[in-house]
Structure 1
């Protein structure tokens, strides 16, 4: 049985059902030092040692692959929230998209009238706003691997606040 591939819960449930000789055998197999004498102490020592062995092996595997935990790009299936949009779709926006209805049934627009007033007070034109929005989207996609980002309305709010 490969104990190192088990989850914490699986391993804990497995050793809970074992006898003292079986626990000592698992400890010997995993090269874990057991200090306790009672069954509860032995199982606790075994579990702590198992965690150390398991996580040290994971760290070694990541170092061998040249990966750093914080900077690994992962491909997940993302579903954007109502305030978000896929970056690839947003990069295709044109100025007219900002004025069109986002959802014809609800009557919501990408940018409301108050949003347009804010755009024109901060940026000279809608084109300038859209260029800055797209520039930030490209930067986030290329440098940080983002797949989803804020819709124009929420992007505007984040810049103003």
Structure 2
């Protein structure tokens, strides 16, 4: 067996193992994520928050195109959101889910959900139901599992 074949074998099978383990772990976590979200929503109170600051965060990533790694940069926008609880307390939290760009984000009003016992754990209410999150996570785990299993079971020689 030559080095190129071994490298290909390790790359394909390693990717298969990674995708299968990641997809399986996500699939196993779905019930606890669902319970956590339902529990949070059962206690959550709605408020309106204001975005007071937006900062851009660059993240170095490796993208793959046809199996070739290509270095690149991804941009996230981290927003600081302020809101007032029903008890009159002002709370500030940060999130990457409120803005997709810096344009028109400052002073933007966003719906917020928070647990009255732990208001600093607030989150922007994107309107996604727990059932929809389960469905999305299920299909994402299948998207990882099926190719991962195919890579593990497939013949590398062909």
Q: Same fold (TM over 0.5)?
A: no
Greater Cα radius of gyration, structure 1 or 2: 1
Q: What is the TM-score with the length of structure 2 in the denominator?
A: 0.25
Which is helix-richer, 1 or 2? 1
Higher relative contact order (CA 8 A, sep 6+): 2
Which is strand-richer, 1 or 2? 2
